[in-house]
Chain A
Amino acid sequence: AQSVTQPDIHITVSEGASLELRCNYSYGATPYLFWYVQSPGQGLQLLLKYFSGDTLVQGIKGFEAEFKRSQSSFNLRKPSVHWSDAAEYFCAVGPFGGATNKLIFGTGTLLAVQP
């Protein structure tokens, strides 16, 4: 069955420091991968997505993610974190074609940014 694991429930980084949020997936074929961000009181905003091609994808707000098939990973990175990046980040996989269009989400990583 398809699944997504985000091993880090809560991460704290200092403003200006680099960030990497981990995401591992389980799926038998090449997945379609997404990172969404949820700011307090807000909905889910799409940061970036990977469908095919270049394994390093750029997103909004200076984020990027790298798809590594050998590690079944799609980690999110940012070279310099801003205080406004404090939010919850969700990795998702899907849809899977055919009859199912659902996204499967990880449990999320809550990012806190220290001044």
Chain B
Amino acid sequence: DQQVKQNSPSLSVQEGRISILNCDYTNSMFDYFLWYKKYPAEGPTFLISISSIKDKNEDGRFTVFLNKSAKHLSLHIVPSQPGDSAVYFCAASDPSQGNLIFGKGTKLSVKP
């Protein structure tokens, strides 16, 4: 059973508007969450992270929100740019294993 779920396989947004990518998790012991961005034929690159003791972390156009009671996090990109078009992976850190658990990814397309 998936512990990290990204239920939207794809999302299309107009340039300049807000992109919201969602991620749900099942294990309340996860203590650290990350978002990775992946272009085709390249490896994922780290985008932004949040510790479970926080509910928001902001870095430029990217903000991650964490709702622990709902076991939900989201990535907001505003304003969206065509260069943001990529697959975004949500990941959670399992402290018992020391590994990251990845979601299946959401493909974001930002239209000019």
A binds B: no
